[in-house]
Amino acid sequence: MRPTASALPSESQPEPLIGVLDLQGDVREHMRALGDVGCAVRRVKHPTELDDVDGLVLPGGESTTLSMLLESMGLFEAIAQILGSEAAPTAGAGSGSASGALPLFGTCAGLILVAREVLDGRPDQRTFGILDAVVRRNGYGRQAQSFEAELVLGSGEGPLLPTVFIRAPRVVSAGPEVEVLASLDEVPVLVRQGTVLASSFHPELTPDRRVHRLFAEMCRAEAQTRTRAAGHGQTDAPAATAGGLFG
């Protein structure tokens, strides 16, 4: 199913290039969703494929396996350097500061990879530590406890958001700078801090493109900010606000 017209960017907006980590998870589904909202997309398996991307998606998968694959492929340090973060050496030691300018979207296991602290993970599990949140691995249960839910998104002006939770991590706590964009039973499941967006669920598995559209707008805004900083542009980038994108 194609997204509605409101999910597509206007012709005046630049097309961001977004990388999708291609080690595990729903890579094709994320690429399709990003294409639907007007983005150019690149698979990322090697550090050189991070060059010139305006944003990066960390799909779901098995978080400890993803962490090890990121290290073995040389991607962990490369991404951490681009983010400008002091990546956590072990689970639970992250800085929780979304200081990196590169927009990053983590879904399910990707949420674990960006979190400041991980509960029930491996002692040597590394995270980027750029989201000031504590998350519990498999916090919603194992594979057999997977479920679907409809959530209020943002200001609640738009329709309910269909979501799919598969071995989903649970946000135990979040810092004051973390903006909660959607909750399930009063627990955050979609959050944003600076240039970091993260979800417990899999937005790529439904035809609703609002979450990917939000990330695309974050990437456009940040790309324009970097262009202005380099002295190549003069126009101000509009902020990606929840009300305008979710309504």
Identify residue 186 by its one-letter amino acid code.
E
Structural contact between residues 80 and 56, judged by C-beta atoms closer than 8 angstroms: no
| Sign, Cα dihedral of 23, 58, 152, 176 | positive
Q: What is the mean pLDDT of residues 75-83?
A: 93
Q: Report whether pLDDT(238) > 60.
A: no
pLDDT for the residue 14 = 66
Ranges 10-19, 83-92, 115-124, most confident: 115-124
pLDDT tens-digit map of 100-139: 579 999 999 999 999 999 999 888 888 999 999 999 999 9
Across 55-76, b (16+ Cβ under 10 Å) vs e yields bbbbbbbbbbebbbbbeeeebb
Q: Report whether pLDDT(97) > 90.
A: no
Active site residues: 108, 202, 204
Distance CA(220)–CA(97), nearest Å, equals 21
Quick one: which of 47, 50, 37 has its CA closest to 9?
Answer: 37
Pick from 10-24, 113-127, 134-148: least confident = 10-24
Quick one: which of 178, 181, 210 has its CA closest to 195?
Answer: 178
Q: Report whether pLDDT(236) > 60.
A: no
Quote the DSSP letter at residue 88. Answer: B
Quick one: which of 167, 208, 226, 185 has its CA closest to 14?
Answer: 226
CA angle 85, 89, 94 (to 5 degrees): 50
pLDDT for the residue 118 = 95
Pairwise pLDDT comparison (90 vs 210), residue with the higher score: 210
Structural contact between residues 199 and 189, judged by C-beta atoms closer than 8 angstroms: yes
pLDDT for the residue 226 = 74
pLDDT tens-digit map of 151-178: 999 989 899 999 999 999 999 999 999 9
pLDDT tens-digit map of 175-231: 999 999 999 999 999 999 999 999 999 999 999 999 999 999 999 998 888 777 777
pLDDT > 90 fraction of the chain, expressed in percent and rounded: 66
Q: Which own/partner pairs from 159-165 qualify as long-range (CB within 8 Å, at least 24 positions apart)?
A: 161/208, 161/210, 161/211, 162/206, 162/208, 163/189, 163/201, 163/202, 163/203, 163/206, 164/201, 164/202, 164/205, 164/206, 165/140, 165/189, 165/200, 165/201, 165/202
Pick from 71-75, 87-91, 98-102, 134-138: least confident = 87-91
Q: In the chain, what are the domain boundaries?
A: 5-246
Q: What CATH class has 5-246? A: alpha beta
Q: Report whether pLDDT(243) > 80.
A: no
The structure's pTM equals: 0.85
